[in-house]
Chains A and B, each alone.
Chain A
Amino acid sequence: MIAWITAVAQAVLVAAVAPLLIGFMRAVRARLEGRAGGRLVQPWRDLRKLLRKEPIIPADAGMIFTAAPLVLMATSVLVAAAAPYLSTGGPLSGVADLIVVVGLLLLGTVALALAGLDTGTAFGGMGASREMTIAALVEPTLLLAVFALSTRVGSTDLGAIVAAGAADPAAVFTPASALAAAALAIATLAEAGRLPVDNPATHLELTMVHEAMVLEYAGRDLALVEWASAMRLTILLGLLANLFIPWGVASSPHPAALAVGAAVFVVKLAVLGGLLAAGEVFVAKLRLFRVPELLAGSFVLGLLAVVASAVLA
């Protein structure tokens, strides 16, 4: 029972914090660029505004278009509930392993890409094709990077990996983990559509990847897509944080431990988000055909991490 409450708490926390993380990253970026920037809660205000508006569905769009925001949101909520953010003892322990998590994330990506195709517009199709090109390289990297960590523990269960890390911090700092962390960080940037892979701030339709797929969404549907996208960034940064800095994650279902876990989680997110935003100030967007080179590089890092952990273990 406690495990289920923990899972719900995790999902609610990720959903609540995700727009704030976006607001925080924008604020960091604005400050570093010498601009005043918006408030921290601005993304939440935007969501509130969009949720009140009616969704407009293109004449040629079908069921996939209407279903995709729900699928995206559902997969995001499920991952947020199942992955070890506050506590390592989730209710789906043994089921919610890394393959399921990566699969759920991919399901959301595919749903959105299909929705982009479903609109029948050139931009939707263009965005979908680019997203699939990127996803085909990102998802294997995500899998490989976490595999490298799982060989140390002997389990693909994310909770077990984090628990082992928390119990034996020295084991986290191995060459294999460093390689895996680098691979996972690059994959996170690509999966979440951040610079240098995609520019979330652009208004130029022809350069977009993620934004091009969701151009036709409006109102509540758009709110769901934006919210779920923010949650995916939170999910990925949270995984990165807990896999490589596993301290503070509750190993017992005690409420106090969970509260500490939540606070530590938010701090980790803020640090990683701040670093990401600061990093984005100094990079430009890669030429689209250079993106596969970057992602292939991250895949190789993931592969090396697996080999290193197998050999050095």
Chain B
Amino acid sequence: MTTPQRAAPPATVIDITADQLADHTRRLLDGGARLALVAAHHDPDAIRIVYLFTAGPPDLRTELHLRTDPDQPAVPSLAALSFPAGRFEREMHDLYGVQPTGHPLPRRLVRHPHWPHGWHPMRADAGARPPLAAHEPFPFLTVEGPGVYEIPVGPVHAGLIEPGHFRFSVVGETILKLKARLWYVHKGIEKLFENHPAGERVALAERVSGDTAVGHALAYTLAVEDALDITVPPAAQRARAALLELERLHNHVADIGAIYNDVGYGIAHAHTQRIREHLLRLNHATTGHRLLRGAVYPGGTRLNTVPDPATIKSVVDDITDIVDIALTNTVVRDRLTGTAVLTKEQAADIGVLGYVARASGLPLDARHAHPHTDLPDLAISVRDDGDVLARFLVRADEIHASAALLTTLLPTLTPGTTVDPPARHAPGRPVSGVGIVEGWRGTIAHRVELRDDGILTRVKIVDPSFLNWPALPVALADTIVPDFPLTNKSFNLSYAGNDL
């Protein structure tokens, strides 16, 4: 039981040519895999594209490697086979200049139109950014018809939220079409990883999305450990699983409160804030940071104290009361029921993850499909309605599930540093690794590549928000404008994790 073990099987790598891409993809997707990540790499002699397909259980990871000409990089588009693939290709086009041939909608995604043409910031030879154009048209598809009008919202919003522009085409109060424009906070965070020793960039991974410190740190850590073949003791993996559940708890409690706030049910919101504060203080005692930073790193886990399972239980009893009280309020229930339905078919086509998928009847959970430690009493909550209420109830269920997991995990943990950070690894050859984690928002995937001396050459991050954002406008069709904030809160997608 105490022997260190590999957290996950290594990925199967298949080198392919452009002609074989579609066939391999079709075979993998038909076999039940999903496209988890697409990353371009600017090698000296080629632009190399890695398509990562994942399936589980049993945990299966397949990588298709495709090399293309660095001067005229192009790949056959997979948009017809997979909706997420089309989005990855647009991202790759903006950042690396890789042309997706045959893409049905080859518009810019990450770089807004006033960014310079022909300049692709992630390429090794990108250099300093040329000046931005002062003005550039930013056309939206206009919906025409009697009584149709547009409501532009953002990118600067009232309240403390991140920037995104939403363009509603509305007739009366009913939304005909919603277009979300993101990437206002594209920071080039993937580039900031490059040329640094892997062990020194955990803090950056923790900051990919502030509320998902453990999720991203752990995905990054697992990827680095996978690449460098580092094994950690089972106790450290269990501590990581516990930290992940603590993160899920405080975020789900906050979301439940935010949903109450959006329907104007102030008293329940006030109480969830009180409960969240309890949890944040517990986090601070556990790791020295209220959002659980600094606890996970390649090679081990660091805990200042281990929370008492009784405390977790009392917190969960408290939130259960709040949920029960609010759901017996008919006005609250009416606001949540049937609002912004995402059907199972839509959810599967778009490729959504996390509680959004589970609330639409898709039982996707990386803790089950890609476990880094055994969780025998893991309960996955799945609801079929796909409305705001379903997303709310999945969160409420997951609070219970997290508490149950913590009750078994916490007594097996001891405070202190599980393993000292390992001395700098030099693998002696270029290596790569994949880390997959069920963060509180959904499945996070990181893929890292390191040089022979252990320096990072590329980190690709996929936050579930990247895959879930397109589902929001779909769910909102035929919803009324005043229900948008409530729907948005029930998805609660990350801007930072999407914009990178």
Q: Could you mark each residue 124-158 of chain B with 1 if its beta carbon is under 8 Å from any beta carbon of chain A, else 0? A: 00000000000000000000000001111100011
Residue among A29, A205, A206, A284 making CB contact with B329, cutoff 8 Å: A284
Q: How far is the CA of A58 from the CA of B149 in the complex (A)?
A: 21
3 tightest CB-CB pairs across the interface, nearest first? A285-B264, A33-B270, A284-B265
Q: How far is the CA of A262 from the CA of B329 in the complex (A)?
A: 39
**Which residues in chain B, 147-174, are within 8 Å of chain A measured between CB atoms?**
149-153, 157-159, 173
**Which residues in chain A, 271-303, are within 8 Å of chain B measured between CB atoms?**
280-290
Q: How far is the CA of A199 from the CA of B262 in the complex (A)?
A: 9
Residue among A35, A130, A287 making CB contact with B270, cutoff 8 Å: A35
Q: How far is the CA of A123 from the CA of B332 in the complex (A)?
A: 25
Q: How far is the CB of A207 from chain B (nearest CB, A)?
A: 4
**Which residues in chain B, 454-500, are within 8 Å of chain A measured between CB atoms?**
480-485
**Which residues does chain A contribute within 8 Å of B483, judged by CB atoms?**
287
Q: How far is the CB of B481 from chain A (nearest CB, A)?
A: 5
Closest to B332 in A: A284
Given contacts A196-B264, A287-B483, contact A206 B331 (CB under 8 A): no
- Whether the Cβ atoms of B485 and A207 lie closer than 8 Å is yes
Q: How far is the CB of B104 from chain A (nearest CB, A)?
A: 31
- Whether the Cβ atoms of A206 and B151 lie closer than 8 Å is yes
Q: Tell yes or no: A52 within 8 A of B by CB.
A: no
- Whether the Cβ atoms of A284 and B270 lie closer than 8 Å is no
Residue among A196, A206, A286, A290 making CB contact with B481, cutoff 8 Å: A206
**Which residues does chain A contribute within 8 Å of B331, judged by CB atoms?**
196, 283-286
Residue among B151, B264, B271, B482 making CB contact with A123, cutoff 8 Å: B151
Given contacts A203-B158, A205-B153, contact A281 B267 (CB under 8 A): yes
**Which residues does chain A contribute within 8 Å of B260, judged by CB atoms?**
284
**Which residues does chain A contribute within 8 Å of B263, judged by CB atoms?**
284-285
**Which residues does chain A contribute within 8 Å of B151, judged by CB atoms?**
122-123, 126, 206
Having A33-B267, A206-B485, A289-B173, one finds 12 other A-B pairs with CB under 8 Å, namely A122-B149, A126-B151, A126-B481, A196-B264, A199-B264, A201-B264, A201-B266, A202-B264, A281-B266, A283-B264, A284-B260, A286-B334
Closest to A196 in B: B331
- Whether the Cβ atoms of A288 and B266 lie closer than 8 Å is no
- Whether the Cβ atoms of A284 and B482 lie closer than 8 Å is no
**Which residues does chain A contribute within 8 Å of B153, judged by CB atoms?**
205-206
Q: How far is the CB of B332 from chain A (nearest CB, A)?
A: 5
Q: How far is the CA of A205 from the CA of B482 in the complex (A)?
A: 9
**Which residues does chain A contribute within 8 Å of B271, judged by CB atoms?**
33-34
Q: Tell yes or no: A312 within 8 A of B by CB.
A: no
Given contacts A122-B151, A284-B263, contact A206 B335 (CB under 8 A): no
Q: Tell yes or no: B274 within 8 A of A by CB.
A: yes
Q: Could you mark each residue 249-284 of chain B with 1 if its beta carbon is under 8 Å from any beta carbon of chain A, else 0? A: 000000000001011111100110010000000000
**Which residues does chain A contribute within 8 Å of B262, judged by CB atoms?**
202, 204, 207
**Which residues does chain A contribute within 8 Å of B329, judged by CB atoms?**
282-284
- Whether the Cβ atoms of B159 and A34 lie closer than 8 Å is no
A residues in contact (CB < 8 Å) with B: 29, 32-35, 122-123, 125-126, 130, 195-196, 199, 201-207, 280-290
Closest to B329 in A: A284
- Whether the Cβ atoms of B484 and A206 lie closer than 8 Å is yes
**Which residues does chain A contribute within 8 Å of B332, judged by CB atoms?**
284
Given contacts A33-B267, A207-B262, contact A284 B335 (CB under 8 A): yes
26 A-B pairs in the complex with CB atoms less than 8 angstroms apart: A32-B267, A33-B266, A122-B149, A122-B150, A122-B152, A201-B264, A202-B262, A203-B158, A203-B159, A204-B158, A204-B159, A206-B153, A206-B481, A207-B485, A281-B266, A281-B267, A283-B329, A284-B260, A284-B329, A284-B332, A285-B335, A286-B334, A286-B335, A287-B482, A289-B480, A290-B334
Q: How far is the CB of A251 from chain B (nearest CB, A)?
A: 41
Closest to B172 in A: A129
**Which residues does chain A contribute within 8 Å of B173, judged by CB atoms?**
130, 288-289
Q: How far is the CB of B419 from chain A (nearest CB, A)?
A: 43
Closest to A199 in B: B264
**Which residues does chain A contribute within 8 Å of B152, judged by CB atoms?**
122
- Whether the Cβ atoms of A288 and B267 lie closer than 8 Å is no
- Whether the Cβ atoms of A284 and B159 lie closer than 8 Å is no
Q: How far is the CB of A294 from chain B (nearest CB, A)?
A: 10
Q: How far is the CB of B318 from chain A (nearest CB, A)?
A: 13
- Whether the Cβ atoms of B270 and A34 lie closer than 8 Å is yes
- Whether the Cβ atoms of A204 and B485 lie closer than 8 Å is yes
Q: How far is the CB of A282 from chain B (nearest CB, A)?
A: 7
Q: How far is the CA of A84 from the CA of B151 in the complex (A)?
A: 44
Q: How far is the CA of A126 from the CA of B480 in the complex (A)?
A: 12
Q: How far is the CA of A280 from the CA of B270 in the complex (A)?
A: 14
Q: How far is the CA of A287 from the CA of B485 in the complex (A)?
A: 12
Q: How far is the CA of A28 from the CA of B357 in the complex (A)?
A: 41
**Which residues does chain B contribute within 8 Å of A35, judged by CB atoms?**
270
**Which residues does chain B contribute within 8 Å of A206, judged by CB atoms?**
151, 153, 481-482, 484-485
Q: How far is the CA of A66 from the CA of B366 in the complex (A)?
A: 58
Q: How far is the CA of A201 from the CA of B484 in the complex (A)?
A: 17
Q: How far is the CA of A248 from the CA of B266 in the complex (A)?
A: 35
Closest to A211 in B: B158
- Whether the Cβ atoms of B270 and A207 lie closer than 8 Å is no
Closest to B174 in A: A289
Q: How far is the CA of A154 from the CA of B332 in the complex (A)?
A: 44
Q: How far is the CB of A36 from chain B (nearest CB, A)?
A: 11
Closest to B489 in A: A204
Q: How far is the CA of A35 from the CA of B173 in the complex (A)?
A: 35
